[in-house]
């Protein structure tokens, strides 16, 4: 059987646009395919979230399924597996399934509903869907198709550190005599997940002695990035085809072949983070109707990396870099920013905030002392810069990209309505130590980020001789504690036993906890690790608790 893996990038909610994308691909690949497989919930894009609660939205989805059925009549030798929500018709429950339709010759041979509904981290499918009532194979062209949806393939006990589900849909499909396993998916990217996913699918193909086709969505939707890397594996778990990451692709494979052992090589971790951020940035702007971006260039590594990612995603003609020196800015910060802009070939502007800052001081003088710099006056400078960037955004229709990293956001080393201003926080899930890795990766082909930017000691430059480490622990220590506390949910005692100074651990955790209110007001951030701030973190603000 010849199967085409349709690894496509849908727009959430754009049913007609997604239907058009499907139709165009079917027109190209149907003549050579017995079956074309599209990702999970492809017709509506993933995740549609509360759009699923709108009845007209569901009705339009059902109309689109009818359109796909009519389209299939033009290609009578080709079946289509399409992901879409479908009404359950039941009076009890959510009334909706996350489903896959097998469409052939103008009709629906069968629906297969998702059994395992993830309800952790960024997933909240129990909010919208009912689980499948039955798990069954579907006969098609001499095969028995074992169709499953995303999480259904992750039900094995060895898939995670703890078992989340009492059933394993893949095992049930194999027991029913499936001759071919197919999983349609919208599996978000996180660094390191690619190899885990390949191992999971490969083990299942080998365990049941069945070919396994896995089709994953690609593209950025809000904070989530989908890497694709769709797979077709032979019955021993060896690759027949592995589609590229972070781009649309389609490939036709004869599944009843022997795979090629050793041909799968996971991509380098920092390369995947780079490509994920580029894709997420490009899609966020494009799907929100923006073509241009503006970046405040401080002469530091965070803004330099953000600007480089923006140029790769949007092109140099669509990125403006803005330096906004203050009375406390070093001369190197301006020249380093100029050199970066020249290396990238972007538009570069310099707008001094000194006159505006002095005007603020005069306004404040009757109210409180302004002779010495304190946190209040540091924040004033950051907010002046934020206002300038937002004015440029309004004037030129360019989205402001905030440049803060995960380490800063974790401990609140950032200013509300200042450097946190923007429409997208590109590095919000990238720890400072990883920012340096990205800078080195960007500079591999040639020196783009000046070495002076990479080598300089991090500083906000909001008061004389300021350094980040005057306030924060060294970033290599801070990032390890953040990993243990935020990602691994370790207690204070456990982190101290791991070898960290008790006072430092206590300060970091207290600071993380009391800055939840800042993160609630931050711009959306692109998720690249297993636990990001944003939609997958639900911590109360007005609370008292001890860890």
| Locus of tokens 């129990």 | 126
Per-residue burial over 193-214, b if 16 or more Cβ lie within 10 Å, else e, is bbeebbebbbebbbebebbbbb
The reply to whether 40 belongs to the active site is yes
End-to-end Cα spacing for the chain: 55
- DSSP assignment of 453-497 equals HHHSPP---SSTT--GGGTS--HHHHHHHHIIIIIS---HHHHHH
Question: 143 has which bridge partners?
Answer: 140
How many other C-beta atoms are found inside a 10 Å radius of the C-beta of residue 259? 23
| Locus of tokens 């330096």 | 323
**Tokens coding 157:** 């006990």
**Given the residues 40, 125, 151, 378, the one annotated as active site:** 40
**Given the residues 21, 114, 406, 518, the one annotated as active site:** 114
Reported as type and span, the H/E element at residue 275 is helix 269-287
The reply to whether 150 belongs to the active site is yes
Work out the widest C-alpha separation in the chain, in whole angstroms.
86
Rg (CA), the chain: 26
**Given the residues 125, 143, 150, 414, the one annotated as active site:** 150
The torsion angles phi and psi of 162, rounded to 5 degrees, stand at -140, 150
Taken as a whole, the chain contains a residue count of 547
Rounded to whole angstroms, what are the CA distances from 514 to 391, 504, 536?
31, 16, 18
DSSP state of 445: S
The reply to whether 254 belongs to the active site is no
**Tokens coding 163:** 């078992």
The torsion angles phi and psi of 367, rounded to 5 degrees, stand at -100, -40
Active-site residues: which are they?
Answer: 40, 114, 150
């Amino acid at each position: 059987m010849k199967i085409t893996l349709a690894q496509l990038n849908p727009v959430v909610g754009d049913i007609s646009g997604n239907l058009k994308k499907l139709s165009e691909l079917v027109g190209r690949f149907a003549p050579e395919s017995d079956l074309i497989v599209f990702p999970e919930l492809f017709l509506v894009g993933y995740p549609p979230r509360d759009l699923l609660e709108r009845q007209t939205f569901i009705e339009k989805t059902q109309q689109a399924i009818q359109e796909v059925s009519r389209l299939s009549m033009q290609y009578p030798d080709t079946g289509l597996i399409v992901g879409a929500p479908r009404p359950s018709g039941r009076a009890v429950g959510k009334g909706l399934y996350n489903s896959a339709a097998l469409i052939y010759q103008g009709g629906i041979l069968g629906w297969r509903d998702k059994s395992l509904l993830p309800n952790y981290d960024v997933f909240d499918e129990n909010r919208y869907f009912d689980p499948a009532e039955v798990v069954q194979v579907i006969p098609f062209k001499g095969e028995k198709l074992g169709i499953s949806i995303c999480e259904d393939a992750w039900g094995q006990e060895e898939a995670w550190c703890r078992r989340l589900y009492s059933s394993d849909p893949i095992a049930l499909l194999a027991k029913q005599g499936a001759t071919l396993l197919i999983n349609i998916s919208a599996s978000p990217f996180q660094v390191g997940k690619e190899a885990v996913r390949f191992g999971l699918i490969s083990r299942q193909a080998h365990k049941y002695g069945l070919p396994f086709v896995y089709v994953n969505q690609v593209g950025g939707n809000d904070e989530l990035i989908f890497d694709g890397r769709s797979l077709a594996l032979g019955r021993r778990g060896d690759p027949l085809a592995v589609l590229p990451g972070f781009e649309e692709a389609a490939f036709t494979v004869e599944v009843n072949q022997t795979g090629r052992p050793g041909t799968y090589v996971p991509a380098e971790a920092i390369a995947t983070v780079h490509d994920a951020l580029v894709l997420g940035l490009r899609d966020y702007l494009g799907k929100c109707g923006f073509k241009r971006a503006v970046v405040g260039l401080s002469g530091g590594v965070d803004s330099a990396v953000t600007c480089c990612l923006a140029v790769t995603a949007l092109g140099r003609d669509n990125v403006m870099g803005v330096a906004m020196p203050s009375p406390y800015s070093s001369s190197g910060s301006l020249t380093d920013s100029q050199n970066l802009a020249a290396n990238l070939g972007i538009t570069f502007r310099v707008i001094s905030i000194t006159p505006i800052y002095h005007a603020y001081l005069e306004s404040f003088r009757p109210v409180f002392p302004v002779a010495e710099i304190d946190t209040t006056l540091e924040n004033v400078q950051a907010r002046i810069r934020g206002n300038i960037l937002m004015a440029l955004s309004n004037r030129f229709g360019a989205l402001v990209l905030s440049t803060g990293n995960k380490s800063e956001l974790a401990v609140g080393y950032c200013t509300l309505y200042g450097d946190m201003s923007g429409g997208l926080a590109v590095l919000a899930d990238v720890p400072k130590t990883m920012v340096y890795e990205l800078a080195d990766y960007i500079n591999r082909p040639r020196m783009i980020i000046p070495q002076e930017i990479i080598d300089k000691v991090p500083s906000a430059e909001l008061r004389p001789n300021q350094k980040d480490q005057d306030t924060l622990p060294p970033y290599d220590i801070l990032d390890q504690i953040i990993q243990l506390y935020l990602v691994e949910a370790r207690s204070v005692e456990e982190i101290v036993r791991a070898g960290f100074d008790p006072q430092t651990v206590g300060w970091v955790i207290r600071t993380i906890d009391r800055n939840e209110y800042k993160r609630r007001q931050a711009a959306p951030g692109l998720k690249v690790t297993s636990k990001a701030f944003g939609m997958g973190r639900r911590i109360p603000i007005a609370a008292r608790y001890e860890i």
